[in-house]
């Protein structure tokens, strides 16, 4: 039986399925960088953004008991026929068909035969949800606070907040799922490849005829990995599969983007456009992404407008200041993170460039603070450090001052 392993990020996991037979591929057909032994074993070159400076080498020497691997920025889980392995621990989890990574030491194990999903936190296993909608499910990925499950009947979404199950798409015999660089689902069926936003809305592809039994997305290279029935891994430039524009993939408008610095991650950005006398309305007017353009998608959400030039210019200055500041504050950040705060940042940009002066409502100030998820949701990130930035009515840019940031980290160390 064939057992492939696709190594994945926190938002997505791709598992092997012990349901096909294969012979080792010819050496001439082997993709560069992959080792093939008696069993076929492939990986996704995991982005350094999610694993600090350590990027795993391709895995080799797969064994028949191996089912799936998932990992995030802190932990790796290997799902085997005898249980879920993390570090030196082997945790009994029942019949597993896939595993997805939560935040920190949380993982989610799919039990297709048992129509269930179990949550693993450390070495504790609890039932998250059970339902006939999950019967014989094969594939599991996580996007934010939801698990997306591929079944022989379609795709369902499981909320991590209340474990409710909702139907995303019916009438698909799903072989595998993965997530691309904007948080859209890539769905592999016997008919080929399709793509949809987490809402279930279709997203465009220019090509669907992928010869594969397994797929994964490599965020490091923006390539789709397609593993065929013989275990041969094909790397496909994702730009040849999706058109530019709304509901496709973001256009690169500048140099800002997620980064890892001294063990801390800047995960994203948000723009709050305050216009006239009215503060920005949350969430409908908030623009997500580093360079929001109307219709373009960031983490599964399409921007409702385009960020102003003044806001983007200010964001770029604040972004550079944050990147320079983090290495100077690692001791204080470490003390704050030790209380349960996640080592992750979000760039928040308040845009008053089109607001009345004076602004009748209280204006937000540039500062460092921490947003904590309340209530907490198991397996989701507990919060973010917010690097809050302001571009005022005169177009002047303000970002957190070092004294304020230091005072916050010194005084506010509550979980």
Each residue's pLDDT tens digit, 186-223 = 999 989 999 998 888 888 899 999 888 878 887 767 78
The domain total for the chain is: 2
Q: What percent of the chain is predicted at pLDDT more than 90?
A: 51
Same domain membership, residue 334 and residue 281 = yes
Confidence of residue 20 (pLDDT cuts 50, 70, 90): very low
CATH number, domain containing residue 136: 2.120.10.30
pLDDT at 379: 85
pLDDT at 373: 92
In the predicted structure, residue 40 carries a pLDDT above the cut 50: no
- Name the residue among 120, 87, 86, 91 with its Cα closest to residue 103: 120
Each residue's pLDDT tens digit, 168-183 = 999 999 999 988 877 8
Average of pLDDT values for 140-155? Answer: 93
Examine residue 299 and state whether it is found in any structural domain, yes or no: yes
Return phi, psi of residue 17, to 5°. Answer: -130, 125
Q: What contacts 181, CB < 8 A, 6 or more positions away?
A: 217, 219, 222, 238, 249, 250
Examine residue 246 and state whether it is found in any structural domain, yes or no: no
Examine residue 37 and state whether it is found in any structural domain, yes or no: yes
Each residue's pLDDT tens digit, 348-401 = 999 999 999 999 999 999 999 999 999 888 888 899 999 999 999 999 999 999
Residue 286 three-state SS: coil
Same domain membership, residue 88 and residue 177 = yes
Same domain membership, residue 39 and residue 100 = yes
Task: Give me the helix-helix angle, 402-411 and 330-337, nearest 10°.
Answer: 30
Q: Which position has the higher pLDDT, 133 or 215?
A: 133
Q: Which position has the higher pLDDT, 54 or 328?
A: 328
Torsion of CA 147, 152, 154, 158, to 10 degrees: -20
In the predicted structure, residue 165 carries a pLDDT above the cut 90: yes
Same domain membership, residue 172 and residue 263 = no
Q: Are 211 and 228 in contact (CB under 8 A)?
A: yes
Range of the domain at 155: 14-240
Same domain membership, residue 146 and residue 269 = no
Q: Are 256 and 315 in contact (CB under 8 A)?
A: yes
* Terminal-residue alpha carbon distance, the chain: 47
Examine residue 144 and state whether it is found in any structural domain, yes or no: yes
Confidence of residue 105 (pLDDT cuts 50, 70, 90): confident
Same domain membership, residue 38 and residue 178 = yes
In the predicted structure, residue 71 carries a pLDDT above the cut 70: yes
Each residue's pLDDT tens digit, 219-271 = 767 788 887 777 677 889 988 998 876 666 666 688 898 888 888 999 899 99
Same domain membership, residue 275 and residue 228 = no
**Which pTM value belongs to this model?**
0.77
Same domain membership, residue 35 and residue 152 = yes
Residue 48 three-state SS: helix
Examine residue 211 and state whether it is found in any structural domain, yes or no: yes
Examine residue 50 and state whether it is found in any structural domain, yes or no: yes
Domain's final residue, options 209, 240, 271: 240
Confidence of residue 5 (pLDDT cuts 50, 70, 90): very low
Same domain membership, residue 130 and residue 266 = no
In terms of average pLDDT, the best of 37-41, 76-80, 275-279 is 275-279
Same domain membership, residue 32 and residue 169 = yes
Same domain membership, residue 182 and residue 289 = no
pLDDT at 51: 33
Q: What is the mean pLDDT of the chain?
A: 81
Same domain membership, residue 198 and residue 105 = yes
């Amino acid at each position: 039986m064939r057992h492939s392993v696709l190594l994945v990020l926190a938002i997505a996991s791709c598992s092997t399925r012990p349901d096909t037979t294969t012979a080792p591929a010819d050496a001439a057909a082997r993709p560069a960088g992959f080792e093939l032994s008696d069993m076929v074993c492939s990986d996704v070159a995991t982005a350094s953004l999610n694993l600090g400076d350590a990027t795993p080498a391709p895995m080799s020497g797969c064994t028949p008991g191996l089912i799936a691997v998932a990992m995030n920025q802190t932990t790796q889980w290997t799902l085997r026929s005898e249980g879920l392995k993390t570090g030196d621990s082997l945790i009994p989890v029942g019949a597993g068909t896939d595993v997805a990574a939560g935040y920190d030491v949380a993982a989610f194990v799919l039990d297709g035969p048992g129509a269930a999903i179990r949550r693993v936190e450390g070495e504790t296993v609890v039932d998250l949800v059970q339902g006939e909608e999950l019967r014989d499910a094969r594939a599991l990925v996580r996007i934010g606070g939801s698990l997306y499950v591929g079944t022989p009947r379609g795709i369902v979404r499981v909320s991590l907040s209340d474990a409710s199950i909702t139907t995303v798409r019916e009438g698909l015999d799903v072989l595998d799922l993965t997530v691309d660089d904007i948080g859209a689902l890539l769905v592999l069926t016997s008919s080929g490849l399709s793509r949809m936003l987490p809402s279930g809305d279709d997203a465009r592809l220019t090509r669907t005829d992928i010869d594969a039994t397994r797929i994964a997305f490599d965020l490091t290279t923006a390539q789709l990995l397609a593993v065929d029935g013989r275990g041969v891994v094909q790397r496909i430039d994702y730009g040849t599969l999706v058109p530019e524009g709304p509901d496709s993939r973001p256009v690169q408008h500048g140099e800002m983007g997620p980064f890892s610095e001294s063990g801390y991650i800047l995960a994203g950005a948000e723009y709050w456009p305050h216009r006239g006398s009215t503060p920005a309305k949350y969430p409908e007017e908030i623009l997500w992404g580093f360079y929001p353009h109307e219709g373009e998608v960031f983490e599964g959400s399409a921007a409702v407008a385009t960020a102003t030039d003044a806001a983007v210019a200010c964001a770029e200055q604040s972004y550079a200041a944050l990147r320079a500041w983090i290495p100077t504050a690692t001791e204080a950040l470490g003390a704050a993170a030790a209380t349960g705060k996640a080592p992750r940042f979000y760039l928040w940009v308040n845009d008053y460039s089109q607001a009345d002066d004076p602004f009748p409502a209280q204006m937000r100030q540039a500062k460092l603070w921490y947003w904590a998820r309340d209530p907490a949701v198991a397996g989701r990130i507990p919060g973010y450090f917010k690097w809050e930035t302001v571009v005022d009515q005169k177009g002047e840019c303000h970002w957190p001052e070092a004294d304020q940031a230091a005072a916050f980290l010194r005084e506010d160390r509550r979980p």
